Amino acid sequence: MTDLATRVWNHRWKIDPIVRSLIDTDFYKLLMCQSVFRNKPQTQVTFSLINRSKHVPLAKLIDEGELREQLDHVRSLSLTRGESTWMRGNTFYGKRQMFRPDFMEWFENLRLPPYHLERKGDQYELTFEGNWPEVMLWEIPALAILMELRGRAILDRMGRFELQVLYARAMTKIWEKITDLRDLDGLRIADFGTRRRHSHLWQDWCVQAMVEGLGDKFTGTSNCLIAMKRDLEAVGTNAHELPMVYSALASDDAALARAPYDVLADWHEEHSGNLRIILPDTYGTKGFLDRAPDWLAGWTGIRIDSGDPATGAETAINWWKSRGEDPREKLVIFSDGLDVAKIEELHRQFSGRVRVSFGWGTLLTNDFRGLVEDDALAPFSLVCKAVAADGKPTVKLSDNPEKAMGPEDEIARYKRVFGVGEQEAMEVVV
C-alpha cells in the first residue's frame, strides 16, 4: 500500500535538495566555527571553489539554474530544535557542553550568507564573502552540492535497472574493502568523506556498512547529521583554514612565522585530550615541528594530510623522541587520499610504534571509479578554500606542491619565512 499523504508530499518538492540540514557537515567545521566565533568573529574572509580537476567541465555538466536552486535551499536552512538539542546535550570526545551557550544561540539564529556564482568558460566561479564564522560554513555544503549535481548529470541518462546495478556494483566494491579491513588487528578508522561524497544517502549507507562490517574498529563519522541519526561518534579536530587565515592576517614576517603556533595556542586553551591534534603541513611539516614550542610536543597526536604519509609519520616520531616524548603514547591520524592498500600498508608499518588511526574520505564515500563509461562518475579534486582574509590573500604550501595555493609572490615569501626548500610533487588522488 502506498501512503497517499507521503506520495503527495514528495511530489510537492520543487527540487530534490542535496543538503537538508546545517549539520550535514563535518564536525570539525563546527568546532573551528566556535573557535573562530570566539577569537576572530569580525574577520572578513573570502572562500572560493577551486576545481583542481580541469578536465571535469562543471559548467557544462551542471545547469546553473539547478545549482542556484540547491545553493538557495541551503540558505533557507536553519538549525532545528533536535539538532540544537543534540549539539548542546551530546557528549563529544568525552566532553559535555562542547558547544558553549553563546555559540549555540548564535548558531540557532544563523542563515548562511549570500553566494556569488558566475560561469567562466566550462567552470563555475563560486565565492562566499563575509564574517569568517558564517562564510566558513559554506565549504562543505558547496562541495557536496557540486559533487552530487555532477553525479546526477551522469545518472540522469541511465535506465532504472542500469541504475540499480550501478549501486549494486558500488555497494559490492565498498563491502569488499570493508571485509579486507576487518582482518586488520587493532584497526581504528573513521569516515571523513562528507565533502566529496557521491551523495548524502550514499554516505549514510557507507557509514552503516562500516558499522556492521567493522564493529568497534569503526570509530565514528565526521558527518554530524549521520552521527546524530545513527547514534555514532562525531569526529574531527581542525583544518588548514585556521593557520591560513591567521597567517594572512599577520602584519609582518615575524608575526607570520608565529601565526601557525598562535592558532594552536588558542586551540590549546580551548581543547584537551584527543582534540589536541597537530595539523603540521600547512607550511611544511619538517620546519613546523623543528620550530615548535615544547608544549606542542605534549599534544596527543598529529594528522598527516599531504606528502608521503610514511615519511610524515617518521618525521613526527623522530620529533617526539627529540622532545623526550614516547611515540607509543602518541596518535598519528592518516587522512590523505586513503584506500585499502595504503591503509593496510600504513597500519602494518606503524602499529605498535605509535597509536594509529585513519580518516577515510573520498574513496570510502565516492568510489564510483570504473563503473560507468568514460569513468564519468570517478571522484575528482574539488576544494573550497579561504582565499583571502581582511583583504589579504591566503597561502598554503602543504607537503605536496601540487596542493599549494596562493599568489606566486606570496608563496615565495611564505617559503622564505617558513624555510621550505625543494618539495616532492605527488599526484593528488582526490
Phi, psi at 401, each rounded to 5°: -55, -20
* Shortest distance, position 406 Cβ to a copy of itself, whole Å: 43
The three cell numbers of residue 183 are: 582482518
230 contacts a copy of itself (rule: CB under 8 A):
no
DSSP for 57-82? -HHHHS-HHHHHHHHHHHHT----HH
Q: Pick between residue 48 and residue 366 the one whose CB is nearest to a copy of itself.
A: 366
Contact 396, 195 (CB under 8 A): no
Judged by CB under 8 A, the stretch of 16-24, 85-93, 135-143, 168-176 that binds a copy of itself is 168-176
Cα–Cα dist 278/121, whole Å:
39
Handedness of CA 197, 203, 209, 214 (dihedral sign): positive
Contact 394, 386 (CB under 8 A): yes
**Among residues 80, 85, 91, 164, the one that binds a copy of itself under rule CB under 8 A:** 164
Cα–Cα dist 273/430, whole Å:
30
Beta strands in 213-264 (DSSP E): 218-221
Among 73, 28, 35, which Cα is nearest to 266's? 35
175 contacts a copy of itself (rule: CB under 8 A):
yes
Burial class (CB in 10 A: 0-12, 13-18, 19+), 220: buried
Q: Pick between residue 212 and residue 424 the one whose CB is nearest to a copy of itself.
A: 212
165 contacts a copy of itself (rule: CB under 8 A):
yes
**Among residues 154, 209, 255, 310, the one that binds a copy of itself under rule CB under 8 A:** 209
212 contacts a copy of itself (rule: CB under 8 A):
yes
Judged by CB under 8 A, the stretch of 100-108, 158-166, 266-274, 307-315 that binds a copy of itself is 158-166
**Among residues 117, 119, 153, 167, the one that binds a copy of itself under rule CB under 8 A:** 167
Query: DSSP letter at 144?
Result: H
Judged by CB under 8 A, the stretch of 157-165, 320-328, 410-418, 421-429 that binds a copy of itself is 157-165
213 contacts a copy of itself (rule: CB under 8 A):
yes
Q: Pick between residue 165 and residue 201 the one whose CB is nearest to a copy of itself.
A: 165
The three cell numbers of residue 423 are: 618539495
Phi, psi at 168, each rounded to 5°: -60, -45
**Among residues 101, 161, 185, 421, the one that binds a copy of itself under rule CB under 8 A:** 161
**Among residues 6, 76, 109, 251, the one that binds a copy of itself under rule CB under 8 A:** 6
- Find the largest Cα–Cα distance for the chain: 70
Q: Pick between residue 161 and residue 421 the one whose CB is nearest to a copy of itself.
A: 161
Interface size with a copy of itself, residues (CB under 8 A): 22
Q: Pick between residue 106 and residue 167 the one whose CB is nearest to a copy of itself.
A: 167
Residues that bind a copy of itself (CB under 8 A): 1-3, 5-6, 9, 159-162, 164-165, 167-169, 171-172, 175, 208-209, 212-213
